[in-house]
Amino acid sequence: MAIIPDLQALREAATSVERTAEDVDTDAGGVTRRLEMIPWQGPRRDRVLFMADVAVVTARAQAEAERALARALRELAGAVERELQELAVLAERARRHLEELLSRARALVTRAAQELADAAAGAASFVWEVATGDVAGAVDAARSLVQRAEEALRSITFRLHGLPEPYDPVWRTLAREILRWQPL
């Protein structure tokens, strides 16, 4: 994942900024000490020392700002890492949920195929009864066929209602059509 190396780079940048701030602090203190060691007197020395003090204060303020930046970079890296972990957990939950839905859908399709095969056998029986001229048998076969179709529809409808509400309009349309369809 490309984000992880970026997090590492963010942490390294924070460390580098902190080192720079420490160097600025050290250098600023050294400049003041060196200037104070110069053996001269008068207003010129006072002006130089004043300007050096201003430069030191400015450098130290910059160093403190850099430290704050380093802390912010570390906090940002930590926040991004936490968000990535939460996203990984959510992705795993979604994967498990999809696997469960696929399992249910496979079971539904298998059961529907079995019920359709049973209905086809009933239809074949009906055709046989009609072909042989057995009117009473044909009527019984037709009733059985209608009853099996109604049971299959109820079973499929019940299973469709058992699945979580899908957001895909195709699923909703399919479920609506199945519910609207009335056998013979």
| Residue 129 shares a structural domain with residue 88 | no
| Residue 76 shares a structural domain with residue 131 | no
| Residue 67 shares a structural domain with residue 131 | no
Range of the domain at 76: 3-92
Q: What are the pLDDT digits (tens) for 98-145?
A: 888 778 778 877 877 787 777 777 777 777 777 787 778 778 877 877
| Residue 176 shares a structural domain with residue 110 | yes
Domain membership flag for residue 97: no
CA 29 to centroid of chain Cα atoms:
51
146 contacts: CB under 8 Å, gap ≥ 6: 183, 184
Domain membership flag for residue 10: yes
Q: What are the pLDDT digits (tens) for 11-59?
A: 788 788 888 877 777 777 777 777 777 777 778 777 877 887 788 888 8
Specify the residue for token string 């939950």.
93
| Residue 61 shares a structural domain with residue 138 | no
Q: What are the pLDDT digits (tens) for 53-97?
A: 788 888 888 888 888 888 888 888 888 888 888 888 888 888 888
